[in-house]
Every structure is written in C-alpha cells, then in structure tokens.
Amino acid sequence: MSITTQGHINHPVAIITGGSRGIGRCIAESLAAEHYQVIISYQNGTPNAEAAVARIREAAGKAIAVSADIADEAAVTMLFDTAEKAFGGVDVVVHAAAVLTAKPLTELTITEIDSMITTNLRGSLLVNRQAAKKIRPGGSLINLSSAVTNNHAAGYSVYTATKAGLEAVTKVLARELGNQGITVNAIAPGPTETEMFKSDLENSPNGEQMRQAIIGMTPLGRIGKPDDIADVVLALAAKMRWVTGQVIHVSGGIAI
Ligand SMILES: NC(=O)c1ccc[n+]([C@@H]2O[C@H](COP(=O)([O-])OP(=O)(O)OC[C@H]3O[C@@H](n4cnc5c(N)ncnc54)[C@H](OP(=O)(O)O)[C@@H]3O)[C@@H](O)[C@H]2O)c1
C-alpha cells in the first residue's frame, strides 16, 4: 500500500491466473480481503470467475475477471494490459493455472502430453515473461508448482516435468529480477481439495483408497485446503521480503 500526494491510498494490484476456482480462487479472495485489487484470470469458466468477482465485490473488495488462455501470447499480453488499464499497474502475480492428466507415460496420448506441455510449460513461460516485464519494483511473482517434483509419484511424468521446468524458471527469474526488489518463488502444494484433485481421484480405479493412502503418507494426516496455500501466498507477497528463488513445499509433509 502507498499513499499519493493527494492523500489517496493505492492498494497493490494482483493478477491470479487460474483464479476462477480451486486454489487460485481462494488466493484471489484472500488477497482481496487484504485490500489487494485483483484480476481473476481464467480460460473457460466464466460463471465461476463471475461468481468469484461478485463475492469479492460483496465484501467491498475490488476485482475484475479476464478470460485469457495462458498458452496464447496475445491473450497473456492482453491480460497484463487490462490489469494496468484497470488498476494502474501490477505488483503481484500468482500463477496457478495448470492442467493435469495423470496416467502412466505409456498410456498418455500425444494430445494429452502436448496439452500439459502447452498449458503448463509454454503457458508458464508466457505468464512469467509478462510478469517479469510488468511487475513494479518491490513486487512478487509466485508460481504454483507441485509436491510431485519431490515425491515423483507414479502417473505424473509429464505433469512433473512441466512443474520441474516451472521451478527452474522461478530460480532463474529470482536472479534476473532481484535488482528491482522483486521476489520470485514457487509454492509446491501437496494434494489439496479442489476440482483438479477430485477429478484426479475420480479417474483412478480406486479413488477412495487412494485418498486414504495419501492421508496415510502425510505426517499432518489430512488433505490440504486451498486456504493452506493462500496463507503462504499472503506471507510471501506482504511479509517475506528476503525470500527469493525458493520452492516452498506446502504439503502437510507429504514430500519431505
Ligand atoms: N489441487 C491439488 O491437489 C494440487 C496439488 C499440487 C499442485 N497444484 C497446482 O495448484 C494450481 C491450482 O490447482 P487447482 O487444483 O486449484 O486447479 P483447478 O481447480 O483445476 O483450477 C485450474 C484453474 O486453471 C485455469 N486454467 C486451466 N487451463 C488454463 C489455460 N490454458 N489458460 C488459463 N487458465 C487456465 C482454470 O480455468 P477454467 O476453469 O476457466 O478452465 C482454473 O481456473 C495448479 O497449478 C496445480 O498444478 C494443485
């Protein structure tokens, strides 16, 4: 927050990709509750995005929704331009948009492989590239990775490869942006209750057994909640200003 010469308060501006549902939506609502002006970016889920915006506005927060396929360069540029036009700049980017198809590598189709690479890797590079150009000095870039980069769970080869790539980009950008006081970190969530996690379990032949096995492997004995991730985003964006280039596992300890 800063105060203008006319005495107006300038609240920081945050773009959240994948902000229409799940972890991204919870992050958007948490940032808005802390007076960030938020841009909820999504692909197809317009009703979800509009509901998220309405909820924030009902609580006197500021939010807009922008549909932008993160794998489309022109759409990503438009997203950042829209944020600047609406709120005057960009201070925080939380990149949560991603897709997952979990299957052994031999069973994944080329279409499924290409879809994860295009959205999760190409899309991450495009979002990170615009973030690196547009985040104002002193801001934060926070990428959502996954605990699978540490526990190498079977069935997640391509998804893990894309998230490992995102972690690498995070570390390089921490060096490239540090001289502007911009911190760049990744959060690696463990299994967290969202649509992505639900459909991952539903696509498994024994989903309920898998859920119990995951809980059993987690020292803190439960599946994560989106709030568990949002709490760490808030801390990174506002308080933890001497932490950069890190992958912070927020996973109940599943990937120690
Ligand atoms: N949930 C977990 O257990 C878990 C664990 C580890 C890591 N993560 C990571 O945490 C992040 C959030 O996961 P989640 O579970 O909240 O996911 P989710 O419920 O499936 O939501 C995904 C979000 O990404 C958006 N999205 C997907 N493809 C997009 C594209 N091409 N362009 C723009 N937006 C796109 C979706 O928008 P539309 O609905 O409009 O398509 C949606 O808002 C992801 O990066 C995921 O990999 C999740």
If phi over 0 gives left and psi between -120 and 50 gives alpha, with beta otherwise, what is residue 169? alpha
Ligand 1 pocket test: which of 43, 167, 199, 217 has the largest number of ligand atoms within 8 Å of its C-beta? Answer: 43
CA 195 to centroid of ligand 1, rounded, Å: 8
CA 196 to centroid of ligand 1, rounded, Å: 7
Query: 23: Cβ below 6 Å to ligand 1?
Result: yes
Q: For 23, how many CA atoms within 13 A lie in the half-sphere containing its CB?
A: 32
Identified catalytic residue from 36, 42, 156, 159 = 159
The pLDDT value given to residue 3: 62
Backbone angles phi, psi at 54, to 5 degrees: -60, -40
The pLDDT value given to residue 221: 97
CA 19 to centroid of ligand 1, rounded, Å: 8
CA 240 to centroid of ligand 1, rounded, Å: 25
Residues 65, 18: Cα–Cα separation, whole Å: 11
Query: 194: Cβ below 6 Å to ligand 1?
Result: yes
Residues 72, 164: Cα–Cα separation, whole Å: 21
Nearest ligand 1 atom to alpha carbon 191: 3
Nearest residue to 97 via CA among 156, 35, 23, 26: 23
Residue 93's DSSP bridge partners are 15, 141
Ligand 1 pocket test: which of 15, 21, 162 has the largest number of ligand atoms within 8 Å of its C-beta? Answer: 21
Query: 44: Cβ below 6 Å to ligand 1?
Result: yes
pLDDT digit string (tens) for the chain, length 256 residues? 666 556 666 899 999 999 999 999 999 999 999 999 999 999 999 999 999 999 999 999 999 999 999 999 999 999 999 999 999 999 999 999 999 999 999 999 999 999 999 999 999 999 999 999 999 999 999 999 999 999 999 999 999 999 999 999 999 999 999 999 999 999 999 999 999 999 999 988 898 999 999 999 999 999 999 999 999 999 999 999 999 999 999 999 998 8
Q: How do 183-189 and 135-144 pair as beta strands?
A: parallel
156 is catalytic: no
Superfamily of structural domain 2-191+226-245: NAD(P)-binding Rossmann-like Domain (3.40.50.720)
> How do the domains of the chain map onto residue ranges?
2-191+226-245
Query: 191: Cβ below 6 Å to ligand 1?
Result: yes
Tokens 């911190």 -> residue = 183
Query: 195: Cβ below 6 Å to ligand 1?
Result: yes
DSSP H or E segment with residue 184: strand 183-189
CA 190 to centroid of ligand 1, rounded, Å: 14
pTM exceeds 0.85, yes or no? yes
Q: For 13, how many CA atoms within 13 A lie in the half-sphere containing its CB?
A: 21
